[in-house]
């Protein structure tokens, strides 16, 4: 007797193979984000006592106010900006338009020290280094906490961009040259990118043995340098096709994998691992960006409003929102996002899941 074929067997086997395939070789369908608003606080000047002092804390600078707060939203200090304020985790210098003394105050509003100085201050994130930029931008000096000069450097042209880290200072100059100075102010590396009709430096960034520079007009270019042995060598150069005649935002992502910089109504992302370039449309002029955990947050301005975007690096737009003011502060600590809008500070946690 001939065995009767079972007509339902083949589709069943196909179905089981397919199911097994998806289990065995799952394909990511994309990041799903949850934006979890945690708290919102009004910024009012005053001394406060942040209670959970062991928590990470950071600062905010928006409009006429600045302040220090922790993850729970406890403010340590909120003050009014005189002319400008240099902020660090260690403390701040709230300085006047004409400054003859720099007064250092800690993040709870307590006096630390002061000294005579005429330039405008720049501090590292942790406040370990104190630098002042000459009022004509043609010089920079580092001082210790007693106000003693550690080193100084003057240039025959104004500084147009700088990137200050704990160990190195990268300085871009109007004349088209950039200098990398070590902790003692000694020249580690200098270079003048050529190939543009007008030479100038428009943006600088540095991270872990890598330097990135945007330079020139009429062939505006990006150049990347990497430390090899005792010096730096160019490893990448690209014509950007932009025509900026001002400082351009540029920085490495927190883990150093991506280089992120401003384009014309877009953010450009360069993957340092494979030198692939990506772009994210911002619909406006980039005002600020930050990265953490492969998430890029951007703020761009369009006609008095701000477009707030969250993207997965390198170029996956995940969320976009219009904020009806142009004065928005952005700061990010890991997955915690802090936005200051209209005198209020908001914490939003960006959760993947």
Contact assessment for residue 176 and residue 193, using Cβ atoms and an 8 Å cutoff:
yes
Assess 166 for contact with another protein (CB under 8 A). Answer: no
Q: How many angstroms separate the CA atoms of 193 and 223, rounded? A: 8
Burial of 311-339, coded b for 16+ CB within 10 Å and e otherwise, reads bbbbbeebeeeebeeeebbbbbeeebbbb
Residue 256, SS3? coil
Burial of 183-222, coded b for 16+ CB within 10 Å and e otherwise, reads bebeebbebebeebeebbbbbbbbbeebbbbbbbbeebbb
Residue 47 beta carbon to another protein: minimum distance, rounded to whole angstroms: 25
Interacting span for another protein (CB under 8 A) from 50-58, 102-110, 112-120, 233-241: 112-120
Interacting span for another protein (CB under 8 A) from 4-12, 31-39, 56-64, 160-168: 160-168
Size of interface with another protein, in residues (CB under 8 A): 49
Residue 306, SS3? strand
Binding-site string for another protein from residue 251 to residue 280, where x marks contact by CB under 8 A and - marks none:
------------------------------
Residue 174 beta carbon to another protein: minimum distance, rounded to whole angstroms: 6
Binding-site string for another protein from residue 117 to residue 156, where x marks contact by CB under 8 A and - marks none:
-xxxxx----------xxxxxxx------------xxxxx
For residue 314, cis peptide bond before it (omega within 30 degrees of 0): yes
In the region spanning residues 63 to 92, those forming contacts with another protein, defined by CB under 8 A, are 84, 86
Which of 71/162 has CB closer to another protein?
Answer: 162
Which residues would be at the binding site for another protein (CB under 8 A)? 84, 86, 97-100, 118-122, 133-139, 152-163, 174-176, 185, 187, 198-200, 202-204, 217, 243, 245-249, 287
């Amino acid at each position: 007797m001939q065995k009767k074929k079972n007509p339902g067997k083949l589709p069943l086997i196909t179905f089981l193979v397919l199911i097994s395939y998806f289990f065995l070789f799952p394909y990511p369908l994309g990041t799903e984000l949850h934006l979890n608003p945690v708290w919102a606080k009004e910024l009012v000047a005053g001394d406060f006592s942040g209670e959970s002092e062991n928590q990470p804390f950071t600062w905010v600078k928006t409009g006429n106010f600045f302040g220090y707060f922790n993850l729970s939203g406890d403010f340590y200090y909120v003050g009014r900006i005189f002319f400008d304020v240099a902020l660090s985790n260690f403390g701040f210098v709230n300085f006047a338009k004409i400054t003859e003394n720099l007064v250092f105050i800690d993040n709870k509003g307590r006096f630390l020290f002061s000294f005579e100085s005429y330039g405008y201050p720049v501090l590292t994130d942790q406040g370990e280094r104190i630098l002042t930029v000459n009022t004509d931008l043609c010089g920079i000096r580092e001082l210790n906490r007693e106000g003693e000069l550690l080193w100084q450097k003057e240039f025959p042209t104004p500084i147009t961009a700088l990137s200050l880290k704990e160990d190195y200072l990268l300085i871009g100059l109007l004349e088209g040259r950039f200098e990398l100075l070590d902790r003692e102010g000694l020249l580690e590396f200098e270079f003048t990118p050529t190939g543009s009709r007008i030479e100038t430096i428009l943006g600088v960034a540095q991270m872990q043995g890598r330097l990135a520079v945007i330079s020139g007009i009429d062939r505006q270019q990006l150049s990347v340098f990497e430390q090899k042995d005792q010096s730096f060598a160019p490893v990448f150069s690209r014509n950007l096709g932009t025509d900026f005649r001002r400082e351009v935002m540029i920085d490495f992502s927190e883990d150093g994998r991506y280089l992120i910089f401003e384009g014309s109504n877009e953010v450009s992302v360069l993957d340092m691992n494979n030198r692939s370039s990506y772009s994210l449309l911002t619909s406006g002029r980039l005002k600020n960006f930050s990265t953490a955990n492969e998430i890029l947050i951007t703020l761009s301005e369009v006609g008095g409003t701000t477009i707030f975007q969250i993207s997965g690096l390198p170029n996956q737009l995940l969320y976009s929102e219009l904020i009806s003011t142009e004065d928005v502060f952005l700061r990010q600590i890991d997955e915690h996002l802090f936005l200051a809008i209209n005198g209020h500070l908001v914490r939003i946690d960006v959760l993947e899941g």
